[in-house]
Structure 1
Amino acid sequence: MNRLQQHVNRSGWAVRYATISAVFIVLIVLTFIISMNTGFARLSPLDVVRTLFGGGTDRQGMVLFEFRLPRIVISVLVGMGLAVSGCIMQGVTRNALADPGILGINAGAGVMVILYVIYLAPHFGASLFFLPVLAVIGAGGTAALVYVLAYKKREGITPSRLILTGIAVGAGIGAAMTVLTLRLEPRQFQFVSTWLSGTIWGTNWDYVGALLPWILVLLPFAFYKSRVLNILNLGDQLAAGVGAKVERERLLLVASAVGLTGACVAVGGGIGFVGLIGPHLARRLVGPKHQLLLPLSAMAGALLLIVGDTLARWLIQPSEIPTGIVVAVIGAPYFLYLLARSR
């Protein structure tokens, strides 16, 4: 009887998860379609369909294939990467408030992007594909700094100290970025200002190509390590007791989270809160098992960012709001709510 009940429960969870996943996929596809019709240059749904199948005008083809589709695809990829990164950080630290942006990792990647804009791009013609590598280096250095500063020998790392240290380090890096922007030319300054506010600035397929390898490698790796995340959530002693190599696995998972964050920030700009909201929404729907949580977090992050970017392009046409501001309007109150609950 117990086995039958367990089988029924598992079947019920499988149906529930499949239903939730299908809903997210449908919402992402619908938003994708709406986003292709949204922008200063008007394209009706019929124009979009005609252009997708090669029947549109040259102008319609340029608007859709050279501007909108790359940006929409980047929104989806960046949303997935940031949400999975946040989910990993929350699992590794056992801290529900952990998020790459809040921990200062986004800022660390951002300062490398600014250095790229100031020194490498104009003077050496550095390849765009080198930019995510620099951003990952900056993100990794910041993560290591936050860990070292938050660690205490007797207590280890507590959630509150980790958050406060990340905020402090992020603020310090933000001040350094402000100093760096003082020596920018007007055109460079405008780019950095829009990037810092969270605008998805990659609007051609080269940016998709720069980001895609990181997503294709690190996302499957994170999904593969989902069972390890479940074990690490038991605590270091219990995880070591069941045979897990705790420090090695933690390092690999943090490295994958840092890689995802750096690559996404390099191409998508300084967008925060996606790594916080996506995993929390997924956890409320499917629970704490990372086999289910990580894929659903990716879908939730993709949906959040593509909706945010679509609203950013639609709300005040012909101008647009930086996507990061739209996401922050949603994310900041939610972060305060979670912070109040954690107390």
Structure 2
Amino acid sequence: MIHPETIKKQRLIILILFSLIILTSVLNLVLGNSILSLDRILPVLMGEGNFNENFILFSIRLPRLIITILAGMALALSGSILQELTRNDLADPGIIGINSGAGFAVALFFLYFPVEAGKFIFLLPLAAFAGALVTAILIYLFSYSSKTGLKPVKLILVGVGFSTALSGAMMVLISSADRAKVEFISRWLAGDIWGTDWPFVLALLPWILILLPSAFYKANSLNILALGNEVSVGVGMKVKKEQGILLLIAVGLAAAAVSVSGGIAFIGLMAPHIAKTLIGKRNQLFIPVAVLTGGWLLLAADTVGRNIFQPEGIAAGIMVAVIGAPYFVYLISNN
């Protein structure tokens, strides 16, 4: 049973995070090369804007805003699941190679499987999922021992190795591609939010709507798995089945997110740690906080990155890495 005071604390933290997301969203909408004043946001949303205001808000900034928040939430939840599954605080879909697997599949699909523009958007998350799943399975197999089970430290090392190898393979792929396609993949590698139209929102949304509730439903299973395989088996859990389902959820969330947001790392590392620090390690408590934290972190990174060094700005993935890389070093030094 969760103490009522803890529940109240969680609700307060969630309210604060919602407030931060709303505040940052407003800044994201009003800042940029094209000016949209703060006092015009509500009128435009209510249908009282002129052509330029409607175009800036509804065609450019609002879909990008929604995609950024959803992608941040998905990456944070994926990282939360992976950390609990592996019992390793350094696990993150970007660090252990899952994002690189998705990116390699995206590059292959983009370069060698031309499809109609309308279908491309919706097939992209599926291609990313296939690449991420194959990579995750290989990492799991190389990190698993029949005697001791999954080795958390080995998983990180194998994942980093796969990530490096796949990044190198992607460079080989694009070395012979034409300039326009190379530019797209370069943006993806930098973690630039490139899927900024409403169809990309529609492509990402079903994955979030299905996998997010599934992860919340499995929160208690994560609590049990965190106690170790022997305890999990002792309470009657089918460990391999549960691990497989949770791994699929984590991979699906990461793949769907990076297929439209680019190769963004560290969100899945930082958000769960921040959430655990705020509310504790029980999954029912920290996962909702981690999800909102991830959404806000990526939104804040995109808002800051897009508005410095204008007009080009800095990719959100680079902004996240500026904070995330030192944080990763800090975690390694304390593990």
TM bucket (normalised to shorter chain) is over 0.9
CA distance in 2, matches of 1:277, 1:166: 18
Q: Which residue of 2 aligns with 1:103?
A: 96
Q: Distance in 1 between matches of 2:216 and 2:227?
A: 18
The percent of aligned pairs where both chains have the same amino acid is 44
Q: Which residue of 2 aligns with 1:252?
A: 245
Residues 175-222 of structure 1: CA deviation (Å, up to 9, x unaligned): 100000012111111111111100010111000000000000000000
- Structure 2: distance between partners of 1:122 and 1:324: 28
Task: Describe the SS at the equivalent of 1:321.
Answer: coil
Tell me what 1:294 maps to.
Answer: 287
Deviation at 1:155, TM superposition (A): 3.1
Once the two structures are overlaid, the 10-residue window that deviates more, 64-73 or 120-129, is: 120-129
Deviation at 1:125, TM superposition (A): 7.4
Where 1:183 maps in the other structure, the secondary structure is: coil
Q: TM-score, normalised by structure 2?
A: 0.97
Q: Which amino acid in structure 2 is aligned with residue 40 of structure 1? A: N
- Structure 1 unpaired stretches of 5+: 1-5
Instruction: Name 1:271's counterpart in structure 2.
Output: 264
Question: Partner of 1:67 in structure 2?
Answer: 60
**Which of these residues, 142, 161, 164, is aligned with residue 168 of structure 1?**
161
Match of 1:3 in 2: none
2:132 matches 1:139? yes
User: Number of residue pairs matched?
Assistant: 335
- Equivalent residue number for residue 51 of structure 2: 58
Q: Which amino acid aligns with 1:107?
A: S
What is aligned with 2:86?
93
- Aligned equivalents of 1:306, 1:216: Cα separation in 2: 19
- Give the corresponding residue for 2:75: 82
Q: For the residues of structure 1 that align with 2:119 and 2:46, how far apart are their CA atoms?
A: 36
Give the Å deviation of 1:124.
8.8
Report the alpha carbon displacement of residue 12 of structure 1 after superposing the two structures with TM.
1.3
- Pair 1:130-2:123 in alignment: yes
Question: Separation in 2 of the partners of 1:135 and 1:280?
Answer: 26
| SS at structure 2 position matched to 1:184 | coil
Q: Distance in 2 between matches of 1:222 and 1:238?
A: 21
Deviations 1:292-317 (A, max 9, x none): 11111100000100000000111112
User: What is the root-mean-square deviation of aligned Cα atoms in Å?
Assistant: 1.4
AA at the equivalent of 2:248: A
Q: Is residue 227 of structure 2 the alignment partner of residue 234 of structure 1?
A: yes
Query: How far apart are residue 174 of structure 1 and its match?
Result: 0.6
1:21 aligns with 2:14: yes
Q: How does 1:138-217 map to 2 (within 5 A)?
A: 138-217=131-210
1:41 equivalent in structure 2: 34
Once residues 115 and 180 of structure 2 are traced to their aligned partners in structure 1, the CA distance between those partners, rounded to angstroms, is 12
CA distance in 2, matches of 1:185, 1:123: 19
Q: Distance in 2 between matches of 1:126 and 1:12?
A: 49
Amino acid at match of 1:127: F
1:97-123 alpha-carbon deviations (Å, 9 max, x no partner): 111111100000001111121122368
CA–CA distance in structure 2, aligned partners of residues 20 and 122 of structure 1: 45
Name the CA shift for 1:124/1:317 in 2 (closer, same or farther; >3 Å).
Answer: closer
Moved more, 223-232 or 150-159: 150-159
Matches of 2:22 and 2:204, distance apart in 1: 21
Indicate conservation of the 8 Å contact 1:120/1:126, yes or no: no
TM-score by length of 1: 0.95
